[in-house]
Structure 1
Amino acid sequence: MTKKMTWNEMSPSQQTGVLVTGSIQLALAATAWIDLAKRPAERVNGPKALWAAIIGINFVGPIAWFIWGRRR
């Protein structure tokens, strides 16, 4: 089993990568949750509560929302 690196053991470029990736994830999730909250239930494929939980799954959830969750 590999040892997990601590923040201080990462190089500056690795730290930047973690921060950029985390920022993208948070922005995607926030945008998807806002869109879900503003969208009427009849324009959502499935229950809104289920989609709210799915959006919380890293990268996959928000992308799934934008591809399959919304009715046009």
Structure 2
Amino acid sequence: MSEPIGNLLDSLGVDLDLDSDELVSGAIVLLKTIDADGDVGLRIRWSDGMGYLERIGMLHAARAIETDNLGCGHDD
């Protein structure tokens, strides 16, 4: 069953500070899941209309951002 995940993200404390002139044009959401047996998994979803190359590019950029921020105390 598929359903919107906005409330789920809100309940996990996910938020974002945007400047007044910024617009969100796409999103990739990576979710860590745990099933009834305690097995951990990953789920990924993306905005409608987002193509493969755009998704891969955003994931690559996110990895670079996280790698560059390791140990720097930077949280966004």
Query: What TM-score comes out, normalization by structure 1 length?
Result: 0.37
Query: Which structure has the higher relative contact order (CA within 8 Å, separation 6+)?
Result: 1
More helix by share: 1
More strand by share: 2
Structure with max Cα Rg: 1
Query: What TM-score comes out, normalization by structure 2 length?
Result: 0.36
